[in-house]
Structure 1
Amino acid sequence: MSVQRWGDQDPQRQPAWAPAPQAVGQVGMRAGHADRDRTIDVLKAAFAEGRLSAQEYEQRHEAAAAAQTYGQLATLVADLPSGPMPAPLQAAQPVPATFLVPPPMPQARPTSALAVVSLVCSLTGFLMLPVVPAVITGHLARQQIRERNLDGDWAAVLGLVLGYLGGAFWLLLFLLAVA
């Protein structure tokens, strides 16, 4: 008994899982390796859940590996759920949710320059006496960060803490020198 392959089938006799060709937009769009991998993941899940026989899984797996377009991949998983709970059927969706591009990553917020100045001044405050500018720019930076939705609050807080510690250090040295 020979196993029929996806491409070797009689065009008049298609498998039960292969829906009739439809005029759906973007079915001719080229598919990439990641798209094929997602399709194979859906097939693996369907096989593990008992929705596909071993022969059906093997045929569809080979067809997914050789598929060139979204339409070919969509045909392979059209009768299978793509998640834990299948969504109700909708009017011809151009691209199945399995193949949609993920949304873009959010852009990073700019860092407050005053926060960086506060941090630098406080770090050098133990060598010289720029602890006063460190504390002033730290407070200004925290206010600016709240008003303008900037990043760098950690630098402003660290600049304030080190600035106050540096001020206490210099004050203690001054009091010991006077005494």
Structure 2
Amino acid sequence: MRASDADRERAADVLKAGYAEGRLSKDEYDQRLQRVHSAATYAEIQPLIVDLPQGPVPMSGPQPAPVLPVTFQGHPRPLAPVTPYWAAPPPVSNNGSAVGALICGVLAPMTWGVTAVPAVILGHKAKSEIKRTGERGEGYATAGLVIGYLAIAFWGLLIVFGLGLAAA
């Protein structure tokens, strides 16, 4: 669902409170705030504030230990941690440059090597983006690089030997 300006402002307030309480460093606060203001959907906003309190945190005294259910053998069974549905991490997507590198590499033999150079460029770009962002697609980028370099070498040798034979 698309987020409104009011939703982005509420998220910015949560981040501001988290920074004021010392839960976020200045760099992390600035980074998250920038991403909140550029977010278009709730799915983009939620991961940025899910680990921060989103309202007054009640101060309480010591809590009693939870009573663990007992199994039929008399041993306590540990309680499973409850993860709220909104805390699920967003799905990790494939890097677009990696997919482009693979496509350009696969097309290189059919385009007389014209797409080999873009395959190499996109492959290196994708590798650095994947390292920085944690996206998937490392294999696509590697395949695009390998095919691109092989196509460049093949067409380079073909041109060199072709010109050598034509001169002889």
TM-score range, shorter chain: 0.3 to 0.5
* Length-normalised TM-score, structure 1: 0.44
User: If each structure's helix is expressed as a fraction of its own residues, which one has the higher value?
Assistant: 2
Computing the radius of gyration over CA atoms, which structure comes out larger, 1 or 2?
1
Tell me which of the two structures has the higher relative contact order, counting C-alpha pairs closer than 8 angstroms and 6 or more residues apart: 1
